[in-house]
Amino acid sequence: MTKARPLSLITGASAGIGAAFARALAARGHDLVLTARRTDRLEALAVELHDLHRVNTTVLTNDLADPHGVEQLCTALGERGLQVDWLINNAGYGVPGRFDQSDWSVHADFLRVLVTAPTELAWRLVRGMRERRYGRIVNVASLAGHVPGSAGHTLYAASKAYMIKFSQSLALENLGLDVNVCALCPGFTYSEFHDVTGTRALVSKMPSFMWQRAEAVVLEGIDAVERGEAVHVTGRFNRTVKGLFKLMPDRMALKMSAKQSKRYRAQD
């Protein structure tokens, strides 16, 4: 049964979709645990949401690229007696450029943040959700996980495809327990993502109808996980893109991906 004040843990909560999830869930009366690497931003957001909605906010600065990051985060939760009802696995970023141009340590950190850490968090927290017979897990994936890979950001689509399949399986394992799991798959979203990867100039040329605001993505995600959708692609345009690529022969889809990815990927 749902608690009067569910507790939501949001990774990557300092900006973008993560901060939008924090604001939306606080508005619904959720207490929050906010985690990311930037303490100052987390603390500012925590104060904002406490003052606005009178919810309890806990800041736990954490680097999920650290192999022990998830264990340390869950230890901190246990020490504070915090039981997570909603897990928003949102932390993520991209590594632009050709695969061999980055050191392996860069790719290893990326895989820990986008694949290993969210998987481990789900493993550590879903047991309590099952015991309490209530929980929600939103794994922020991407439309990129549904379409052919592209040159540049070599591991990004692969990591998101993994999160989609993982979410589907975890959702099936928890049917009938009121523990819902959803892979949320946005397309282009207004956030700092492209500033960090250095592709802002490229993507700014994309037409406005291809973009969504983080707040709209989050509202769709909350509704989808509450309905029990295992996978949800946000926005009519993105759902159309997914459908078109699903119908195309693989060779044609790869050719189109190769052509179009030059518009938004740093490939060299």
**Longest distance between any two alpha carbons in the chain, whole Å:** 54
Give the C-alpha separation, 127 to 130, whole Å.
5
Question: Which amino acid appears at position 6 of this protein?
Answer: P
Pairing of strands 135-140, 31-35: unpaired
Give the closest residue to 103 by CA, choosing from 92, 91, 95, 94: 95
Which uninterrupted H or E stretch holds 83?
A: none
Q: Give whole-number Cα distances, 134 to 3, 82, 100, 114, 210, in Å.
A: 9, 15, 44, 25, 35
**135 exposure class (CB count in 10 Å sphere: 0-12, 13-18, 19+):** buried
Catalytic, 156? Answer yes
Please pick, among 134, 156, 162, 264, the residue that the annotation labels catalytic: 156
Give the C-alpha separation, 110 to 156, whole Å.
9
**What is the b/e burial string over 8-26, where b = at least 16 CB atoms within 10 angstroms of the residue's CB?**
bbbbbbbbbbbbbbbbbbb
Q: Decide: 256 and 219 in contact? Cβ < 8 Å.
A: no
Q: Decide: 174 and 126 in contact? Cβ < 8 Å.
A: yes
Residues with a known catalytic role: 156
